[in-house]
Structure 1
Amino acid sequence: MGTILLVFFIFVSLVNLIYFFSFFSFSTSGLKNKLHPELPVSVIICAKNEEENLKNFLPSILEQNYPEFEVIVINDASSDNTLEVIEEFQKIDPRIRIVDVQNNEAFWANKKYALTLGIKKAKNQHLLFTDADCAPQSKNWIKEMSRNFQPGNTIVLGYGGYFQHSGSFLNKLIRFETLLTAIQYFSYARLGSPYMGVGRNLAYTSSQFYELKGFANHLHLRSGDDDLFVNEAATAENTAICFHPDSITRSVPKNNFSEWFHQKKRHVSVAGNYKTKHKILLSAFYIFRVLFWLLFAALLILQVYPKIALSILGIKLITEAFVYFKAADKLNEKDVVWLFPFLDLFLIFLQLVIFISNLISKPKHWK
């Protein structure tokens, strides 16, 4: 029995290692010099009750070092002074264009409806998306993201991180989970199977949007304007990734666990609509992580080949540390990876709780 348990543990460990070896495709990749034609760009921001965030972060968009761009700010039926704030900015900077969305009974609280109206308003073919609570970390954000619209590329996946709050475990957990997600979607894209992007930092062409008939195939779902669109539209041939330090955006993280938990519930509920191959790969990644720790604990408790189990754990942690530290260095998240074994375990447990919670009750609104 002990030998069978060990053999199963070794098999599970190998699968875990294969996943992280595949992540080398991103963690060890370097930046490539690319021609920059400086294409006209439309930056699109969807704002719902975001008056304070717009005051804080919209200036960082307007200060971009880029020759030709417009900023389309969508007021998605806000109940605060979001519209008034946008109008004040427009008086100062004519590059701002406003889309004022009223509640529509057929599309109540549907961000995709608001985004569609904003995309239709855009005068430029190349669209760059971010959120109202996001700030580019450089004045060259538009330049670096749009640089990746090389011939044939219609989708650019960027990194949208979160601001650091020192001393907060929740902040480190949020940023570690964001880092792990980025490692996955960047690596899959590098390997020719892009499956998602984040709306905090995502670009695609209007022709790609209209070719896919926008969000039509998942308009009935409240979430997924970013990852479901990418999952449906992205291919090995039309997708580029951008992780240049100047291309990073950062957002305001949730400041309490309950809000973040409900945000993750919404994100996880959407993943069930990914392509089958991506659902299998992502599910297997989670299942084999769970199995590893369960089998490792069983071998130690039963005192079955404990030295071998600890040696395999060491190999696993060294491999993962290499991936995390290299990726964190690229994305400026180095302070969170020192705790990665503990954060990883916590995430595994949390994802199980989220899965069970979504079986009981699924979120319906984006805000």
Structure 2
Amino acid sequence: MSVLDFVFYAFAAVVVIQVIIYFVLFGKFAFLKPKKASPIKFPVSVIVCAKNEAENLAKFLPSVINQNYPKFEIILINDASSDNTLNVMEDFKNSNSNIRIVNVKNIEAFWGNKKYALTLGIKASSYNHLLFTDADCKPLSKFWIKDMCSNFNDNTELVLGYGAYNKVKNSFLNKIIRFETLVTAINYFSFAKGGNPYMGVGRNLAYTKELFFKANGFIEHIKIPSGDDDLFVNQVATKHNTAICVSQNSFTESIPKTNFKAWIKQKRRHISTAKHYKPNHKIALSLLYLLQIMFWGFGISLIASTFKWPFVVGLILVRFISQFIIFGRSAKKLNEEDLIMLLPVLEIFLIVAQLVIFIKNLSSKPRYWK
């Protein structure tokens, strides 16, 4: 067997495995039929942790304050800000009786640690059901609290939501950021529906106070600067206690980075937490990434050599059609349809960017949350 024969059969195997993964794993989310959640009336604590976010709080906090929900409080955590964040919080508190402020000052043991600030905010909350978002996020409807929290029941202690990013016209970086967010969401929603939840995003996440203290909070990974969302979910989520919420009324939207340097810095922090996931999650995610690299590497090599090119082209078409079906249906659910026509280009760029970030993290580790 020649080298090209080996590459061809390996390529065919990769395509078959990817198509199976698309329909068997990702299909759990792509073909998911939305369920009408039961109305609920329990009180909710909305928690927003802010560090130097005066401008964003002034802009986005009203969308939280004006939620259509019977009873909720807003816990605003000022994480040792050096700007006017605390003053903005106090201005809102003066005109809204359901706002409480937790003013966190740095201490040597937890200097710059968001998990310490969040823990103080959670302890200060009045209610068992907690809903989290960021200071630079806004709920896209006044029913955000209602839709997210309607997924709680006697068994469900954790609800994973979708945190989108603003759409910016004529910006390739914006499409990359939103595509990466879409792919990540497809992954964690699909894994959760498959009974193996592994992460969530702090821009839109809900869990019970009881679950938090049952897990001893963030103590298991308190020394890791990032991961207040995904590492905590990875630690406590099970197929029995986790639900997903993908109604468009439940989405939040955040301000995306506007230059590649800032985005790379952000993604370095996010990717650095993945090595702390449970072994089975790390293996599964690594396999998904490896299959992508092999598909493009083998495919380009075979096309360049014209080796059995009709079969190679056929396999490429099967893979792309399968991907377009699954990602297209998923993108429609998450209101990201405009990304699908650029899927191959965005996929290649993201693969390369993730590889560069991984290599960079090997030489120097990010030690900041903001």
The TM-score by the shorter chain falls in which range?
Answer: over 0.9
Distance 2:359 2:120 in 1: 35
**Alignment partner, residue 12 of structure 2:** 10
**Alignment partner, residue 117 of structure 1:** 120
Alignment length, in residue pairs?
367
Q: Deviations over 1:171-199 (max 9, x none)?
A: 11100110000000000000000000000
Q: Deviations over 1:119-173 (max 9, x none)?
A: 0000000000000000000000000000000220000000001011111111111
**Alignment partner, residue 215 of structure 1:** 218
Matched, 1:227 2:230: yes
Q: Secondary structure at the match of 1:338?
A: helix
Q: How much has 1:297 moved relative to structure 2?
A: 1.2
Aligned residues: CA RMSD: 0.7
Question: Which of 239, 243, 255 is the aligned partner of 1:240?
Answer: 243
Q: Secondary structure at the match of 1:44?
A: strand
8 Å contact from structure 2 (residues 15, 315) kept in 1: yes
Q: How much has 1:337 moved relative to structure 2?
A: 1.6
Q: How much has 1:18 moved relative to structure 2?
A: 2.2
Q: How much has 1:306 moved relative to structure 2?
A: 1.0
Distance 2:166 2:303 in 1: 39
8 Å contact from structure 1 (residues 38, 146) kept in 2: no
Q: How much has 1:13 moved relative to structure 2?
A: 1.2
**Alignment partner, residue 260 of structure 2:** 257
Q: In structure 1, give the amino acid aligned to 2:263.
A: W
Q: How much has 1:45 moved relative to structure 2?
A: 0.3
Q: In structure 1, give the amino acid aligned to 2:233.
A: V
Q: Secondary structure at the match of 1:98?
A: strand
Question: Which of 306, 323, 329 is the aligned partner of 1:303?
Answer: 306
**Alignment partner, residue 147 of structure 1:** 150
Shifted more, 226-235 versus 294-303: the winner is 294-303
The TM-score, its normalising length taken from structure 1, stands at 0.99
Matched, 1:187 2:190: yes
Q: Secondary structure at the match of 2:276?
A: coil
Q: Deviations over 1:89-147 (max 9, x none)?
A: 00010111000000111001100000000000000000000000000000000000000
8 Å contact from structure 2 (residues 37, 147) kept in 1: no
After TM superposition, list the pairs within 5 Å mapping 1:1-367 onto structure 2: 1=2, 2-21=4-23, 22-367=25-370
Distance 2:260 2:276 in 1: 26
Q: How much has 1:19 moved relative to structure 2?
A: 2.1
Q: In structure 1, give the amino acid aligned to 2:10.
A: F
Q: How much has 1:296 moved relative to structure 2?
A: 0.7
8 Å contact from structure 1 (residues 188, 195) kept in 2: yes
Q: Deviations over 1:53-87 (max 9, x none)?
A: 00000000000000100000000000000000000
8 Å contact from structure 1 (residues 300, 309) kept in 2: yes
Q: How much has 1:324 moved relative to structure 2?
A: 1.4
Q: In structure 1, give the amino acid aligned to 2:225.
A: R
Distance 1:89 1:112 in 2: 24
8 Å contact from structure 1 (residues 75, 83) kept in 2: yes
Q: Secondary structure at the match of 1:164?
A: coil
Shifted more, 25-34 versus 104-113: the winner is 25-34
Q: Deviations over 1:27-49 (max 9, x none)?
A: 11011022122210000000000
Identical aligned residues as a percent? 52
The TM-score, its normalising length taken from structure 2, stands at 0.98
Q: Which 4+ residue blocks in structure 1 deviate beyond 4 angstroms?
A: none
Q: In structure 2, give the amino acid aligned to 1:222.
A: P
Q: How much has 1:3 moved relative to structure 2?
A: 2.4
Q: In structure 1, give the amino acid aligned to 2:17.
A: V
Q: Structure 2: give runs of 5+ residues left out of the alignment.
A: none
Distance 1:337 1:56 in 2: 31
Q: How much has 1:302 moved relative to structure 2?
A: 2.0
Q: Structure 1: give runs of 5+ residues left out of the alignment.
A: none
